[in-house]
Amino acid sequence: MEIVREYFFQIVLFLAGALIGVIAALKPRVNKPLAVVLAMALISISIVWWYIEQNSPAACPYNGANDAETFANLIRGEENGALNNDIATIEEVYLEGATITDTVTGKTLPMKQHYQGLLSVIEFIALDHYNIEVVKMDSEYAWVIASDISIFRWRETGEEQEFISPPGAAHYIFAHDPSGCWKISHFSKQAENEPFP
């Protein structure tokens, strides 16, 4: 029912075009060429309108006024998910199949596996990325660095700890998802000594 509400006018145009086409086929006195053209026009408009809405920036909930703002919004989305212990929110900002590298341990894990492990042992109290900067960008990828500060609590001991990364230690690679929205495809943390990009 939600899809009918969301695409009501496109559905009405499509059905009107189909109805005109059926009437043109069944009624001998109808101007067939005109009816066919009208039917095709209504159906085409409904399909193009639906396609544009599916692929418009409004379909990308983290879009900002420009790409740099979009990248910052996606990083903030990741922060919100981590702060709320909410894997689903974190998944919204990452591409399917995205990975995270911890340069201290040298391990690269699928994003979900990384966050499930991390959030099972710590609880974020505060988390902030700042000095978010686009280093390089082309039509397919963007390379972004940031600094971060976090305060977290170890779940087992209840001990609180603060971590401040060196400048530019968070390395993000962004790519487009199938609908054209920017998403995080890879994140390297504590990567200040790693070449990037």
pLDDT tens string, the chain, 197 residues long: the values are 555 566 677 777 777 777 777 777 777 776 777 777 776 877 787 787 777 666 655 579 999 999 999 999 999 999 999 999 999 999 999 999 999 999 989 999 999 999 999 999 999 999 999 999 999 999 999 999 999 999 999 999 999 999 999 999 999 999 999 888 999 999 999 999 899 98
Looking at the structure of the chain, the number of domains it has is 2
Instruction: State whether 77 and 31 are in the same domain.
Output: no
Instruction: State whether 81 and 176 are in the same domain.
Output: yes
Instruction: State whether 19 and 100 are in the same domain.
Output: no
Looking up residue 150, the CATH number of its domain turns out to be: 3.10.450.50
Instruction: State whether 18 and 111 are in the same domain.
Output: no
Q: Which domain holds residue 79?
A: 62-189
On whether residue 116 sits in a domain, the answer given is: yes
Burial 20-46 (b: 16+ CB within 10 A, else e): bbeebeeeeeeeeeebeebbeebbeeb
On whether residue 194 sits in a domain, the answer given is: no
- Residue 51's identity, in one-letter code, is Y
- Its pTM stands at 0.72
Instruction: State whether 72 and 40 are in the same domain.
Output: no
Instruction: State whether 107 and 172 are in the same domain.
Output: yes
Angle formed at CA 131 by CA 127 and CA 137, multiple of 5 degrees: 115
On whether residue 196 sits in a domain, the answer given is: no
Of 36, 35, 30, 193, which Cα lies nearest the Cα of 104? Answer: 193
- Look at residues 54, 73, 90 and tell me which one is the last residue of a structural domain: 54
Which residues lie below 8 Å from residue 124, measured CB to CB, with a gap of 6+? Answer: 82, 83, 85, 150, 151, 152
Instruction: State whether 155 and 113 are in the same domain.
Output: yes
On whether residue 195 sits in a domain, the answer given is: no
On whether residue 26 sits in a domain, the answer given is: yes
Instruction: State whether 104 and 75 are in the same domain.
Output: yes
Instruction: State whether 46 and 73 are in the same domain.
Output: no
Instruction: State whether 110 and 71 are in the same domain.
Output: yes
Instruction: State whether 49 and 71 are in the same domain.
Output: no
Instruction: State whether 14 and 90 are in the same domain.
Output: no
